[in-house]
Chains A and B, each alone.
Chain A
Amino acid sequence: NAGVMQNPRHLVRRRGQEARLRCSPVKGHSHVYWYRQLPEEGLKFMVYLQKENIIDESGMPKERFSAEFPKEGPSILRIQQVVRGDSAAYFCASSPGGLDYGYTFGSGTRLTVV
């Protein structure tokens, strides 16, 4: 029973490129949460998704960032036209029905923009 799988573990992108971060939840979990950890800062909420729906994207930057969680396949966090300030660790967590029901964190994807 694999936990939350995030890939890639490390991602290097040049300024202006696109970054795609994947999160495969625990089998049977239909809720996914994305968090960003900027250098020297705490983890901050970005977006909360259920299958095929965005429930709360209040923590997501308005431009260049998008997230999806399709009916089949992993959740994708997409960052277009990356800038150096996007360099951070991106973590996802999955849950079977909201955080009240328990949750599992992935090991994160470390994005470096050069």
Chain B
Amino acid sequence: KQEVTQIPAALSVPEGENLVLNCSFTDSAIYNLQWFRQDPGKGLTSLLLIQSSQREQTSGRLNASLDKSSGRSTLYIAASQPGDSATYLCAVIFRNQFYFGTGTSLTVIP
């Protein structure tokens, strides 16, 4: 059984700060791992997708790493902005299913 955990559940930081969101999963036999962003009452926006053979992916101020053997991923956000405020979801594809974490709710204070 696959379980995905995200820490912290909530995070509040001042604008401009760099921050790290953590995701862990219990079974390392994943196909890939994906980070999503979800704004209140909205759908899912894909941020970064890391295939199981990859170690990291970067897009702009975002960098995601994957350590499959230890069952961990981190999402690094550089120079945070108020517009980054949202819930960040980590999900793995495992046995042809998505398993989602419960998310980290991020608030960036101007």
Contact = CB atoms under 8 A, between A and B. Distances in A.
Max chain B Cβ within 10 angstroms of own Cβ: one of A43, A93, A99, A108: A43
B98 A42 contact: no
Q: Which range contains the number of B residues in contact with the other chain?
A: 10 to 19
Contact of A42 (B31, B42, B96, B103): B103
Interface in B26-46: 31, 41-44, 46
A42 B43 contact: no
B34 to A, nearest CB: 9
Contacts of B100: 35, 42-44
A72 interface: no
Contacts of B101: 42
A91 interface: yes
B31 A99 contact: yes
Interface residues of A, number: 20
A41 interface: yes
B93 A42 contact: no
Contacts, number: 45
Contact of B31 (A40, A44, A100): A100
A45 B97 contact: yes
Interface of B: 4, 31, 41-44, 46, 89, 91, 93, 96-103
28 contacts: A33-B97, A33-B98, A35-B98, A35-B100, A40-B102, A41-B102, A42-B101, A43-B91, A43-B98, A45-B98, A45-B99, A48-B97, A56-B97, A91-B43, A93-B98, A98-B96, A99-B31, A99-B96, A99-B98, A100-B31, A100-B93, A100-B96, A105-B43, A105-B44, A107-B42, A107-B43, A108-B43, A108-B44
